[in-house]
Amino acid sequence: MFILPSKSAVVVAALFFFAACSSSSTGAGTGQPRIVLNADKPRPTIDVVDVPASQLSALQGTESREAWNAVLKISVGPDQPATIGTYQIGDGRIVFEPMFPLDHGRQYHVTYSPPGAAPITSIVSLPARNMTPATMVTQVYPTSEVVPENQLRLYIHFSAPMGSKGGLSYVHLFADDGAEVVDPFLPLDAEFFNDDRTRYTVFFDPGRQKRGIAPIADMGRSLTAGKSYTLVVDSEWRDGNGLPLTQQFKRTFKVGPPDEKPLDPKTWKVLAPAAGTTGPLAVAFPEPLDHGLLLRALGVVSPEGKPLPGEVVIGEQELTWSFTPKSPWAAGAYNIVAFAMLEDLAGNRIGRAFEVDQFDRTDKSGEPEKTFIAFVVR
C-alpha cells in the first residue's frame, strides 16, 4: 500500500494491471486513469482516478445499473456478475460505493471500460484481518455428570460472538461404543443464539422425548439410561469473524433414568441471610435445574411484594442458586418467586411435568404463573 498525493489520501491496495486487450501500459504517474481502493472513508469505495474530462463528460447521464456495469464493473471474480453499488462522477474521478461494505481480504476484480478507449483492469482488496482463531467453547450446560434420559436441551457457551449460521451440523453425540447417535437433536433452520450470539441452544428431538408418538416408538430416545455419551463440538464452526474455533470441544456424561416428575419447591433447601448484611440468599435443589431458566425465572420479592435487584450465581452442576441483593437485607418476611417457565433438565415445571394427562391445568393467562417460597430474614 502507498499513499497517493491527492487531495484526499487514497490508498491503493494490491494494485495489479493485467495486459488485457491493448491496455498494458497504464499505471501511476502515466497520466492515464487508474483504479484505486479508497479506504479513507467509513465505507471504502473503488475509484477510478485521473479520468480525462472527455471521458467524464461522455459518462454524464449514465443511469441504469446495466449501463454502469458496462463502464465500470466490480465483481468478486472475472466471470462473476457485477457487484451492486452506486456510481458518482466528479473531481476527475468515478466513485463506486458498494451497497454492502467490501469484505476484508477479498479480491475485487475491477474493469474500467471508458468510452472510446481501451479497458483497464485491476484487482483491489482491503487488508485481510487477523486470521488466527481465538474463539472457543467455554462451557456446555448442563454440567452435571449424569443427565436424565429425557434431557431436553443443551446450552453451548462461546468466548466470543459466533457467526450467522446455525451450528447443529457441528454438534455431534457419540455413544460409548463410538457410534454416532443418528438425529438426536431437533433439526431446525430457526436461530437459537442469544442476543450477542455467545450462547447456542440445542434441543433434543422432542419427537424422541415424548411418549406414544411415532418417532420414539420407532427410533427410541436419543439417550439411553445406563450408557455414557460424548458430546463433540467441531472446531470448524465459524465465529463472528468467519474463523473456526481454536479447538474441538468434548464432554462425556452419563445418562440416568427419565425424569417425568414435576418440580416441588417444598424439597428445596433455603438458607436465609442475616439482616443488615448483603450476604447471599442460598437455595439448594434436589436435582439440577435448567441453567438458562435459573438465571431468569427465579427472583426475590420484598416483604412489600416488590422484586429486588441483585446478582444471581448458579452453583456447580446447577444444583444451587444464590442471590446477593444490591442493598442490605432488612428483617422481615420475604419470598422467593419462581416463574412458571422454570424447568429441570427434562422440561418439568413446578407442579407440572413435561407431559401431563389432562388439559385442565393449561395456563389460561398470558402472564407467567408464579410460585412463592417464603423465607424470613432475621
- Shortest distance, CB of residue 148 to other proteins, whole angstroms? 15
Residue 174 or residue 339: which is nearer to other proteins going by CB?
Answer: 339
Q: Would you give the binding string for other proteins spanning residues 127-166, x where CB under 8 A is met? A: -------------------------xx-------xxxxx-
Query: Measured from the CB atom, is 47 or 239 closer to other proteins?
Result: 239
Torsion of CA 253, 255, 260, 264, to 10 degrees: -50
**Binding range to other proteins, per CB under 8 A, among 9-17, 31-39, 110-118, 232-240:** 232-240
Closest among 339, 118, 119 to 110, alpha carbons compared: 119
Which residues in the 25-64 window bind other proteins by CB under 8 A? none
Q: Judged by CB, which is closer to other proteins: 27, or 78? A: 78
- CB-wise, 11 or 243, nearer to other proteins? 243
Written as nine digits, the cell of 36 is: 484505486
In the region spanning residues 277 to 336, those forming contacts with other proteins, defined by CB under 8 A, are 290, 292-293, 295-300, 307-312, 323
Question: What is the smallest separation between the CB atom of 292 and other proteins, expressed in angstroms?
Answer: 5
Helices marked H in 210-325 = 214-219, 291-297
Positions of E strands within 167-272: 171-175, 199-203, 228-233, 249-256, 269-271
User: Total number of residues binding other proteins (CB under 8 A)?
Assistant: 92
Q: Quote the CA–CA distance of 331 and 376 in Å, as a whole number.
A: 7
- 101-120 residues near other proteins, rule: CB under 8 A: 101-103, 106, 108
**84 touches other proteins (CB under 8 A):** yes
* Per-residue x/- track, 193-212, other proteins (CB under 8 A): xxx-x-x-x-x--xx--xxx
* Residue of the chain from 13, 56, 223, 338 that contacts other proteins (CB under 8 A): 338
- Give 55 or 185: the residue with its C-beta nearer to other proteins: 185
Stretch that binds other proteins, among 75-83, 111-119, 245-253, 270-278 (CB under 8 A): 75-83
Q: Indicate the helix (H) or strand (E) that contains 56.
A: helix 53-59
Task: Check residue 257 for interaction with other proteins (CB under 8 A).
Answer: no
- For the bound state, the minimum distance from the C-beta of residue 124 to other proteins, rounded and expressed in Å, comes to 12
Residue of the chain from 174, 192, 268, 375 that contacts other proteins (CB under 8 A): 192
Q: Is 374 in the site for other proteins (CB under 8 A)?
A: no
> Hey, is 93 helix, strand or coil?
strand
- Supply 98's cell numbers: 458498494
Can you tell me which of 50, 239, 259, 344 binds other proteins, judged by CB under 8 A?
Answer: 239
Find cell 494491471 and name the residue.
17
- The answer for residues whose C-beta is within 8 angstroms of residue 300's C-beta and 6 or more apart is 281, 307, 308, 310, 323, 325, 334, 335, 336, 337
Q: Does 217 contact other proteins by CB under 8 A?
A: yes
CA dist 299 and 322 (Å) reads: 10
- Cβ closer to other proteins: 254 or 370? 370
Helix (H, G, I), strand (E, B) or coil at 58: helix
Long-range contacts of 220-226, Cβ-Cβ distance < 8 Å, separation of 24 or more: 221/149, 221/150, 221/258, 222/173, 222/181, 222/183, 222/184, 222/185, 223/147, 223/149, 223/150, 223/151, 223/181, 223/184, 223/255, 224/149, 224/255, 225/149, 225/255, 225/256, 225/257, 225/258, 226/255
